[in-house]
Amino acid sequence: MSSTSTTTPLVALFGLLAYNALAAIEPSIVALMHQVGERHLVAGRNPISFCNVLFISQIVSLVTFLALFHRDLTRENFRKITRRKWHCLFSYVVLGSVITQMLYFFSLDYTSVASIVLISSMQIPLAAFVNAWLFREVLERRQMGGHVLIFAGIVTPFLLATQASMFSNAGWGDMLAFFAMLCGVANGIFAKYLSDLPLGVIGVVASGASAVFFFCFASLYFGPEHFQDLLVPYVWELVFVYAIVLVVSRHIIRQLSFRRASNQAINTISASYPALAVIAAYLIASQIPTYGQMLGVVLVVAGILFAIAPGTRKGFLEKQVEGERAAVRVNA
């Protein structure tokens, strides 16, 4: 490939940029919504709780997917889903749409967006080694070096921080983000087995099942009164915009962009996510990154770029992108 621009249409490039930008600002938007709720308490309670946000966003996503992809919801498509596919789909929903989101939401209450972004970046080298172990994918020295840089960027802020901070609230938030990252790696494995399912089926099942799970979990764990602020008007207004702009539209933009973009364009533009997320945290949520976090972001971005640099073989990220683009072609 001669260049990113000559192999990818301009529309697809803008789509990739939009997708990464939306993914980057999501943690900051969630943190900002929580801050808005703190300033507009209802009887001393923050109505923008993680349960309310997740439940409403999944309801909005479900209605949107039903409206846009109702043609995928045929009896024939559901009959094609084997028992193993149903197990994978259920695991995909529980890990990706439920547990991972819950852990990330909890972690935002204790630690900064920059820390969450850096910890979530650990998913790249960890997923590479898991795929090399499970799917016998070969890692070149160049890719190994890139993953080492990514790992160095992740641990740098924690090495520069004080030892006492590991046992503070921020330390607990980092642990929650770490477990969320592990769930994300496992969720990626299940996603490989669902690439042949129509987009509408996955979207409707995931959104509907997640909404039911969130409501039942919160009602049993916190009590039914936990949703007593669910009908506060401004909560629906904020979460509706969040669900449409950051959940549904990002998913659709990703599908359209991956279908027309080259692997080089997808890899290169995706490498901007950590830096964009930290910048968004500063501009939107007023979270100023520490020196260690900034240094970590630089190392992570450098590691990603080094791992995706052209080589004699297709590396893990290139193979992952090709698999995702094949899934997009099937679902299109």
- pLDDT one-digit tens code per residue, 34-91: 888 888 888 888 888 888 888 888 898 899 889 888 898 998 889 888 888 898 888 8
Q: Answer whether residue 324 shows pLDDT above 60.
A: no
% of the chain exceeding 70 in pLDDT:
81
> 177: buried, middle or exposed (CB in 10 Å: 19+, 13-18, 0-12)?
buried
Interatomic CA distance for residues 33 and 19, integer angstroms: 21
Interatomic CA distance for residues 47 and 39, integer angstroms: 10
Tokens of 73: 């919801």
Q: Answer whether residue 265 shows pLDDT above 70.
A: no
| Residue whose C-alpha is closest to residue 183's, from 105, 115, 293, 289 | 105
Distances in Å between the alpha carbon of 90 and those of 28, 97, 182, 191, 294? Answer: 29, 10, 17, 11, 38
Q: Answer whether residue 163 shows pLDDT above 60.
A: no
Q: Answer whether residue 314 shows pLDDT above 70.
A: no
DSSP 227-279: GTTTT-HHHHHHHHHHIIIIIIHHHHHHHHHHHHS-HHHHHHHHTTHHHHHHH
pLDDT of residue 6: 45
Residues 258 and 320: beta-carbon distance below 8 Å: no
pLDDT of residue 21: 87
pLDDT of residue 8: 61
Tokens of 144: 């190994």
pLDDT of residue 259: 64
Interatomic CA distance for residues 16 and 27, integer angstroms: 18
Interatomic CA distance for residues 128 and 316, integer angstroms: 6
Task: Please list, in sequence order, all residues whose beta carbon lies within 8 angstroms of the beta carbon of residue 279, skipping any fewer than 6 positions away.
Answer: 24
Using 50, 70 and 90 to split pLDDT, how confident is the model at 254? Answer: confident
Mean pLDDT estimate for the chain = 78
- pLDDT one-digit tens code per residue, 275-296: 888 888 888 888 888 888 889 8
Using 50, 70 and 90 to split pLDDT, how confident is the model at 307? Answer: confident
43 vs 128, more confident: 43
pTM, two decimal places: 0.74
pLDDT of residue 125: 78
